Amino acid sequence: MRRRVLGLAVAVVTLAGAAGCGSSDSGGGTSSASGGKKTQVTVGVIPIVDVAPLYLGQKQGFFARRGIELRMVTAQGGAAIIPGVVSGQFQFGFSNTTSLMLAQTKGVPVKSVVNGAASNGKVGADVTGVLVKKDSPVKSAKHLAGRSVAVNTLQNIGDTTVRESVREDGGDPAKVKFVEIPFDQMPAALDGGRVDAAWMGEPAQTVAKAQGARVIASPFAETDPKLTVATWFTSTKIAQQNPELVKKFTEAMTESLEYATGHPDEARQILTAYTKISGDVLAKLILPSWPPQVDVASLEKLAALGEEDGIFGGKKPDIQALFS
Same domain, yes or no, for 218 and 233? Answer: no
Confidence of residue 32 (pLDDT cuts 50, 70, 90): very low
Same domain, yes or no, for 163 and 57? Answer: no
Give the Cα separation of 120 and 99 in Å (integer): 20
Is the pLDDT score of 22 beyond 50?
no
Confidence of residue 27 (pLDDT cuts 50, 70, 90): low
Cβ atoms < 10 Å from Cβ of 21: 10
Same domain, yes or no, for 10 and 111? Answer: yes
Confidence of residue 20 (pLDDT cuts 50, 70, 90): very low
182-210 residue pLDDT tens: 988 999 999 999 999 999 998 899 999 99
Percent of the chain with pLDDT over 90: 77
Same domain, yes or no, for 255 and 217? Answer: no
Contacts for 87 with CB less than 8 Å, ≥ 6 apart: 12, 15, 16, 18, 19, 22
SS3 217: strand
Is the pLDDT score of 273 beyond 60?
yes
Same domain, yes or no, for 239 and 142? Answer: no
Same domain, yes or no, for 52 and 149? Answer: no
Confidence of residue 13 (pLDDT cuts 50, 70, 90): very low
Is the pLDDT score of 252 beyond 60?
yes
Residue 135 covered by a domain:
yes
Percent of the chain with pLDDT over 70: 89
Instruction: Report, as an integer, the average pLDDT of 134-162.
Output: 96
Classify residue 97 by burial, with Cβ atoms within 10 Å: 0-12, 13-18, 19+: buried
Instruction: Report, as an integer, the average pLDDT of 215-224.
Output: 98
Mean pLDDT, the chain, rounded, equals 89
Q: How many domains does the chain have?
A: 2
124-146 residue pLDDT tens: 999 999 999 999 999 999 999 99
Whether the upstream peptide bond of residue 243 has omega within 30° of 0, thus cis, is: no
Same domain, yes or no, for 114 and 248? Answer: yes
Residue 40 covered by a domain:
yes
68-87 residue pLDDT tens: 999 999 987 777 899 999 99
Cβ atoms < 10 Å from Cβ of 64: 18
State residue 217's pLDDT score.
Answer: 98
Among residues 191, 223, 255, the one where a domain terminates is 223
Is the pLDDT score of 150 beyond 80?
yes
Do the beta carbons of residue 209 and residue 200 sit within 8 Å?
no
CATH code of the domain in which 16 resides: 3.40.190.10
Residue 123 covered by a domain:
no
The pTM for the full model equals: 0.85
Contacts for 5 with CB less than 8 Å, ≥ 6 apart: 106, 313
Range of the domain at 175: 129-223
Same domain, yes or no, for 233 and 216? Answer: no
At CB < 8 A and 24+ separation, what contacts does 5-12 make?
5/106, 5/313, 8/79, 8/82, 8/83, 8/102, 8/103, 8/106, 8/108, 9/106, 11/80, 11/83, 12/82, 12/83, 12/86, 12/87, 12/108
Confidence of residue 11 (pLDDT cuts 50, 70, 90): very low
State residue 143's pLDDT score.
Answer: 98
Give the Cα separation of 300 and 227 in Å (integer): 10
Same domain, yes or no, for 211 and 266? Answer: no
Give the Cα separation of 54 and 267 in Å (integer): 10
Residue 92 covered by a domain:
yes
Residue 124 covered by a domain:
no
Confidence of residue 107 (pLDDT cuts 50, 70, 90): very high
